[in-house]
Amino acid sequence: MRPTIAPFPLARPRRRRRTPALRAMVREHALTPSDLIWPIFVTEGEDREDEVASMPGVTRRTVDRAVAAAQEARDLGIPCLCVFPHVDPSLKSAACEEAWSPDSLSNRAFRAIKAAVPEVALMSDVALDPYNVAGHDGLVRDGRVLNDESVEALVRMAVSQAEAGADILGPSDMMDGRVGAIRAALEEGGHSDTAILAYSAKYASAFYGPFRDAVGASGALAGSTAGEGKQTYQMDPANTEEALRMIERDLSEGADMVMVKPGMPYLDIVRRVHEAFAVPTFAYQVSGEYAMIAAAAANGWLDRDEAVLESLIAFKRAGCDGVLSYFAPEAARALSR
């Protein structure tokens, strides 16, 4: 006896896709402005913004304009800004002393924003490249990027940022042992409430180029004689298991949250970290990712709003608790629509 075959499919997934209301009811992941951290660049001067040529639409802002950006973030529901400095070349040195000056550009921005918009969280960048004549994230001697001496400098930098009002410190240097050293110094200095979001799985990526332009490190790095470049301390893009070891190490040293960087090319790493550790996990949609979408949209090759939101929901789907993205303000406005 032949089985009876229904003249129509019993399962019709399209029923759930028929209207916006039905799609919203069964949507598995959601993106909101509170999932976003907005990276901004600060520069010297007053009441000025200079566009970063390789990141159309992204600017370097003077401190007063950074305060205005914080007010915009608050109004859009974006909970956190990450501040990166564009340091005057005259302040760069081999010893990077400006990195922990109480009056460094970043520290002045932290104090100004906290005074005006205290409800917005501030994240710092703990790395020496903006202050280093060699353009590296650590101190350089005889063509080598030094580890332990760099950690000592990074600790001084981190403590100065905590004192200036940073809520979250972001060690992005990839020196061994820096998270534990920073955590110990914060505890000893009375900053036990200051959080660490460690760039734990930071890869040596080609996607960082526009960022280096934005902070003024490209030229110095190109002229550096230190080893192979940042490949001596940032991770090999071919490695996965190593990322999990780096995450485990930083958590054991006192990191409160961890990050994978870059973002979309490494969503497989995000998923593995999320599943293995179940800790707050972030990813950075880096400057090269921004530049690709912005350039394609400018040429009419894709819809910018749709591409931005699709790219950001991919981070949430992979397991991110939040995303650092230069698209944060426009994404927040698009979500409100």
Domain boundaries, the chain: 30-336
If phi > 0 it is left, if psi is from -120 to 50 it is alpha, else beta; for residue 278 that is: left
Active site residue ranges: 202, 261
Q: Looking at this protein, which amino acid is placed at residue 92?
A: K
Distance set, CA 316 to CA 144, 281, 310, 327 (Å) = 38, 10, 10, 15
Q: Could you read off the pLDDT of 150-178 as tens digits, one per residue?
A: 999 999 999 999 999 999 999 999 999 99
CATH number of this structure's domain 30-336 = 3.20.20.70
For residue 240, what are its two tokens? 């996965």
Q: How far does Cα 288 stand from its chain's mean position? A: 12
Residue 196 pLDDT: 98
Classify residue 303 by its DSSP letter.
-
Q: Which residues make beta-bridge pairs with 325?
A: 285
The verdict on pTM exceeding 0.75 is: yes
C-alpha neighbours within 13 Å on the C-beta side of residue 38: 27
Q: Could you list the pLDDT tens digit for every one of the 337 residues in the chain?
A: 676 667 788 899 999 999 999 999 999 999 999 999 999 999 999 999 999 999 999 999 999 999 999 999 999 999 999 999 999 999 999 999 999 999 999 999 999 999 999 999 999 999 999 999 999 999 999 999 999 999 999 999 999 999 999 999 999 999 999 999 999 999 999 999 999 999 999 999 999 999 988 998 766 665 555 556 899 999 999 999 999 999 999 999 999 999 999 999 999 999 999 999 999 999 999 999 999 999 999 999 999 999 999 999 999 999 999 999 999 999 999 999 8
